[in-house]
Structure 1
């Protein structure tokens, strides 16, 4: 049973969400008009270009609850969808481009992106990916590192929850999140090592910079890390979610996990990075319908059961914040309909091709429901 102090800690945490999207035409081809799509829609919203010109990104402001998160995400997606439409494109929330692409070679604007492309070479063009990053406000870097230690064993579960990239280069990859595998090619990506202190963190970051694995500090692409730009811990393991509701659910659950970490009386368990990496591979393979190591025991358990227990453990504070109905209804919908990858495969089977998958992605990217509370 969680105590009242833990409940108050959960309610006091702030959250921000970043989402990355693709622009495509009606045949699934990437459309390289990202900068133009946001040019007339940036005022009053945090909309950005991304590494490739076929991508755009949005970021919420500082949010304090599910309804606020959902409303901001829905509004941002609507603005991006309008901008895409004005460029003859469709906005889709998918971890990878589903259709085969004849050429992916157009870097987004900004000298930093071009320097990164020169630095890492042609593999940057081997598969464009889109993720979702959840920021939770913390006091300082030392706190962020302690929280990250506690969240390391949860990375496989969070990856499986929003797995949304079954297809790549026109083929079913057999994975629920092939984005995870593609992103893992970056030398500074993956689960972070266990950190004992800010000094150790700094030593490792400086080592990554010295070897050239990271060109700058922002290229430390660990799946959970202290943010370089904001006083937050950033969880960046997930595919971009298919729907606003899934992204909001992810953000609320991450906030709960951060509250648990802040209230933990003991340091986090030292799960070897190699074990977490292997568990993430399993999560990427099987998605929500699969099994991953339980964050507490290490024994394999269904992802649905792990997430269900997390919600039950936090039911009191979620009820107090008016979020429990949303969390339970969204999780029930997800358990019934499957993760994004499962829904993509169902669309493929139902329609007989990738064009059906594309229609599904376009529809659910902008489709949202009312969040209670």
Structure 2
């Protein structure tokens, strides 16, 4: 498993700043790492960068890598006069800037306001699969649980200088892309590839890199890539996403039926509800299709993957970390608490900078 995290680049005062080219030049000048992954990479806007961990099997190793990646990105940002903040969206009204890249400029030209406003940060989890058929089995199994993963990670309650009333407004902004969101069951790898070919045939998206499903087969690695989560304020919450996704994948390959009989139209409603209230209200129970308190639905997820977690040695840690998230709240809850203590937009970002490095 591995984790990719997107971060805002902000001034020491807490304002998003377009210094990604400088940060990336500094990263390119560092000694190369022979292992795969572990890079600081470009994102769509100059006000953000992305990090990735190396593939690994051990949870503690992954947590150390996530923290190291955050520290490295922040050190590079400081050398460029900035810091990194793990926020799903900037709270301020920002005129963001596309990176100097031909593909990025084509996306901006083709998608207009959707692209202009797309300054959001997610957390992407990769888990290895043997082939496309196993990957699709995992994708189809994940479908009813992706909303719960979003609720646990939600970390974007503000947008353009206003409180949105959502725990994850990033997911609402991201949902404007034509290929975003939940999918219908695919059934097998051949069907998945046919769907991707049909999407590309429309001429709407540039390439398969713009297939923005909540979970997809990676275009570059033999992995399932789960993209539904906001970037997590707390590094351990990012690892929680990875551990849960791996456990869901392990459960998928041993569970019949592989496909949950829930229509994509219904799943979109589940996802919207998770984005709205996160872990502080009701979520939709995958077992009943009806609202239940978030803690109960999180408990359903834990029970569903309990055996896989136990076999990986992750059960006790996951129980503790889920309890921590439910008691403390996700990033959205923490941001709203800072607001209640009097933090304005810039002060909120500065506090997020500090927590990002814990």
- For Structure 1 versus Structure 2, the TM-score category normalised by the shorter chain is over 0.9
> Within the alignment, does 1:156 sit opposite 2:147 as a pair?
yes
Q: Which runs of 5+ in 2 are unaligned?
A: none
Q: What is the match of residue 298 of structure 2?
A: 307
Taking structure 1 as the reference length, the TM-score comes to 0.89
Deviation at 1:215, TM superposition (A): 1.1
Q: Which runs of 5+ in 1 are unaligned?
A: 1-14, 368-373
Looking at structure 2, the residues matched to 321 and 150 of structure 1 have their Cα atoms a distance apart, in angstroms, of 19
Judge which range, 147-156 or 202-211, deviates more: 202-211
Q: What is the match of residue 350 of structure 1?
A: 341
Q: Is the 8 A contact 1:41 1:79 kept in 2?
A: no
Looking at structure 2, the residues matched to 161 and 107 of structure 1 have their Cα atoms a distance apart, in angstroms, of 29
TM-superposition CA deviations, 1:119-159 (whole Å, max 9, x none)? 22232112411101101101111111121111111111111
User: Structure 2 residue aligned with 1:129, among 106, 111, 120?
Assistant: 120
Looking at structure 2, the residues matched to 69 and 274 of structure 1 have their Cα atoms a distance apart, in angstroms, of 35
Indicate the RMSD between aligned Cα atoms, in angstroms.
Answer: 1.7
Q: What pairs up with 1:210-225 in 2 under 5 angstroms?
A: 210-225=201-216
TM-superposition CA deviations, 1:75-114 (whole Å, max 9, x none)? 000000001111111200011011122x22x211332222
Looking at structure 1, the residues matched to 263 and 222 of structure 2 have their Cα atoms a distance apart, in angstroms, of 27
User: Structure 2 residue aligned with 1:179, among 146, 159, 170?
Assistant: 170
How many residues align? The count is 351
Q: What pairs up with 1:280-291 in 2 under 5 angstroms?
A: 280-291=271-282
Q: What is the match of residue 71 of structure 1?
A: 64
TM-superposition CA deviations, 1:200-224 (whole Å, max 9, x none)? 3233222221223321011111001
Q: What is the match of residue 81 of structure 2?
A: 88
Taking structure 2 as the reference length, the TM-score comes to 0.93
Q: Is the 8 A contact 1:348 1:356 kept in 2?
A: no
Q: What pairs up with 1:132-281 in 2 under 5 angstroms?
A: 132-281=123-272
What SS does the aligned partner of 2:15 have? coil
TM-superposition CA deviations, 1:315-371 (whole Å, max 9, x none)? 56545544334323322221111111111010011024223311221111111xxxx
Q: Is the 8 A contact 1:188 1:213 kept in 2?
A: no
Looking at structure 2, the residues matched to 319 and 227 of structure 1 have their Cα atoms a distance apart, in angstroms, of 27
Q: Is the 8 A contact 1:133 1:236 kept in 2?
A: yes
Q: What pairs up with 1:86-125 in 2 under 5 angstroms?
A: 86-101=79-94, 103-104=95-96, 106-125=97-116
Looking at structure 2, the residues matched to 316 and 259 of structure 1 have their Cα atoms a distance apart, in angstroms, of 9
Cα distance 1:230–1:312, how it changes in 2: closer, same or farther (>3 A)? Answer: same
